[in-house]
Amino acid sequence: MSATLYTTSATSTGEGRAVTEDGLLDVTLATPTSMGGPGGATNPEQLFAAGWSSCFHSALKMVAAQQKTPVTDSTVTADVSLTKTDDGSLVLSATMRVHIGGGIAQDAAEALVAAAHQVCPYSNATRGNIPVTLTTTVA
């Protein structure tokens, strides 16, 4: 049996606000101007990108520690796209752009990114549901 490690909740209102149960996240929401909305506030895709990039970064640091591979000066950027299909459905796609500094070899960095993608809860939740591209750069 699995043990739940953490549960949280957030509520979104029709007035364009999303708040977590502890109040630490309290944001105004608006449709982007590129989609005909007023803009000027965050949107669900930005929140998803922020959550996924943070989660993926944690997964990257976890697998690097497990493999005793030092990871320094790392960043994870999640590019989340919302696309309208021919039938009018809206679908997501993502590119995870991972940068690892510290002189790590490209192949070692790519292996860490692939391993992080296997354990990241966001990656697991979206696997097979949306196209995801992984890109890895080193310095």
The range of the structural domain enclosing residue 10 comes to 1-42
Q: Give the orientation angle of helix 106-119 with respect to helix 44-66, to 10 degrees.
A: 120
Question: Do 50 and 115 share a structural domain?
Answer: yes
The number of distinct structural domains making up the chain is 2
Task: Find the CATH number of the domain harbouring 13.
Answer: 2.20.25.10
Question: Do 81 and 28 share a structural domain?
Answer: no
Query: What CA–CA distance (Å, rounded) separates 14 from 69?
Result: 46
Task: Find the CATH number of the domain harbouring 49.
Answer: 3.30.300.20
Query: What CA–CA distance (Å, rounded) separates 136 from 59?
Result: 15
Question: Do 68 and 81 share a structural domain?
Answer: yes
SS3 18: strand
Question: Do 112 and 74 share a structural domain?
Answer: yes
What is the tens place of the pLDDT at every residue in 62-114? 999 999 999 999 999 999 999 999 999 999 999 999 999 999 999 999 999 99
The answer, yes or no, to whether residue 7 has pLDDT greater than 90, is yes
E strands, 53-89, are 72-84
C-alpha distances (whole Å) from 132 to each of 57, 79, 127 are 16, 10, 8
**For residue 1, what pLDDT is reported?**
72
Question: Do 84 and 30 share a structural domain?
Answer: no
